[in-house]
Protein backbone atom coordinates (compact mmCIF):
# COMPACT_ATOMS: atom_id res chain seq x y z
CA UNK A 1 0.00 0.00 0.00
CA UNK A 2 1.19 3.49 -0.80
CA UNK A 3 2.03 5.55 2.26
CA UNK A 4 1.22 8.92 0.66
CA UNK A 5 -1.30 10.32 -1.81
CA UNK A 6 -1.47 13.91 -3.06
CA UNK A 7 -3.67 16.36 -4.88
CA UNK A 8 -3.42 20.09 -5.47
CA UNK A 9 -4.38 21.20 -1.94
CA UNK A 10 -4.45 17.92 -0.03
CA UNK A 11 -2.08 15.17 1.09
CA UNK A 12 -3.04 11.88 2.75
CA UNK A 13 -0.76 9.59 4.72
CA UNK A 14 -0.80 6.01 5.94
CA UNK A 15 1.35 5.23 8.98
CA UNK A 16 2.66 1.64 8.86
CA UNK A 17 3.65 1.72 12.54
CA UNK A 18 0.27 2.73 13.96
CA UNK A 19 -1.92 1.48 11.06
CA UNK A 20 -3.67 4.89 11.01
CA UNK A 21 -4.61 7.23 8.18
CA UNK A 22 -4.36 11.01 8.16
CA UNK A 23 -4.99 13.80 5.66
CA UNK A 24 -4.29 17.51 5.49
CA UNK A 25 -5.86 20.20 3.37
CA UNK A 26 -3.76 23.33 2.92
CA UNK A 27 -4.56 26.56 1.12
CA UNK A 28 -1.85 29.16 0.63
CA UNK A 29 -2.33 32.46 -1.15
CA UNK A 30 -1.19 36.02 -0.84
CA UNK A 31 -4.10 36.53 1.56
CA UNK A 32 -2.66 34.03 4.04
CA UNK A 33 -2.64 30.34 4.89
CA UNK A 34 -5.17 27.79 6.07
CA UNK A 35 -4.47 24.20 7.13
CA UNK A 36 -6.92 21.52 8.23
CA UNK A 37 -5.80 18.07 9.44
CA UNK A 38 -8.02 15.00 9.76
CA UNK A 39 -7.78 11.43 10.90
CA UNK A 40 -9.47 9.42 8.16
CA UNK A 41 -10.52 5.82 7.66
CA UNK A 42 -8.99 3.21 5.39
CA UNK A 43 -12.05 3.49 3.13
CA UNK A 44 -11.61 7.26 2.73
CA UNK A 45 -7.88 6.78 2.02
CA UNK A 46 -8.63 4.14 -0.61
CA UNK A 47 -11.08 6.45 -2.41
CA UNK A 48 -8.81 9.51 -2.42
CA UNK A 49 -7.42 10.33 -5.85
CA UNK A 50 -10.19 8.48 -7.69
CA UNK A 51 -12.11 11.69 -8.42
CA UNK A 52 -11.31 13.89 -11.39
CA UNK A 53 -11.84 17.05 -9.34
CA UNK A 54 -9.89 17.76 -6.13
CA UNK A 55 -12.96 19.44 -4.62
CA UNK A 56 -14.51 15.96 -4.27
CA UNK A 57 -11.35 14.63 -2.63
CA UNK A 58 -11.38 17.53 -0.16
CA UNK A 59 -15.06 16.96 0.66
CA UNK A 60 -14.32 13.30 1.32
CA UNK A 61 -11.40 14.17 3.62
CA UNK A 62 -13.64 16.56 5.58
CA UNK A 63 -15.87 13.62 6.55
CA UNK A 64 -13.00 12.40 8.76
CA UNK A 65 -12.31 13.41 12.34
CA UNK A 66 -10.89 16.93 12.76
CA UNK A 67 -7.49 16.87 14.41
CA UNK A 68 -6.03 20.36 13.89
CA UNK A 69 -6.73 23.64 12.14
CA UNK A 70 -4.73 26.77 11.44
CA UNK A 71 -6.16 29.91 9.87
CA UNK A 72 -4.18 33.08 9.39
CA UNK A 73 -5.61 35.23 6.64
CA UNK A 74 -5.91 38.93 6.01
CA UNK A 75 -9.67 38.45 6.43
CA UNK A 76 -9.26 37.18 9.99
CA UNK A 77 -10.66 34.01 11.47
CA UNK A 78 -13.94 33.01 13.04
CA UNK A 79 -12.21 31.64 16.12
CA UNK A 80 -8.75 31.06 17.52
CA UNK A 81 -5.91 31.06 14.98
CA UNK A 82 -4.96 27.49 15.90
CA UNK A 83 -7.17 24.75 17.28
CA UNK A 84 -6.13 21.23 18.22
CA UNK A 85 -9.04 18.86 18.76
CA UNK A 86 -7.03 15.70 19.40
CA UNK A 87 -3.51 16.13 20.80
CA UNK A 88 -2.54 12.47 20.45
CA UNK A 89 -3.76 12.18 16.84
CA UNK A 90 -2.10 15.49 15.96
CA UNK A 91 1.24 14.31 17.38
CA UNK A 92 0.94 10.95 15.61
CA UNK A 93 0.14 12.67 12.31
CA UNK A 94 3.11 15.02 12.65
CA UNK A 95 5.43 12.02 13.18
CA UNK A 96 3.89 10.27 10.17
CA UNK A 97 4.31 13.35 7.95
CA UNK A 98 7.94 13.75 9.03
CA UNK A 99 8.65 10.08 8.38
CA UNK A 100 7.09 10.23 4.89
CA UNK A 101 8.91 13.44 3.96
CA UNK A 102 12.40 12.38 5.12
What sections of the chain are H helices per DSSP?
Answer: 42-47, 54-61, 87-101
Cβ-in-10-Å burial (0-12, 13-18, 19+) of 17 comes to exposed
Q: b or e along 18-43 (b: 16 or more beta carbons within 10 Å of the residue's beta carbon)?
A: eebbbbbbebeeeeeebebbbbbeee
Could you read off the pLDDT of 12-52 as tens digits, one per residue?
Answer: 999 999 999 999 999 887 777 888 999 999 999 999 999 98
- pLDDT digits over 46-98, tens only? 999 999 889 999 999 999 998 888 877 666 655 556 677 778 887 887 887 88
Amino acid sequence: MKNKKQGNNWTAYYDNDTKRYFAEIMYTSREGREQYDYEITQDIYARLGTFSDDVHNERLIKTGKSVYSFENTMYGTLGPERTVWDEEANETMNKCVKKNND
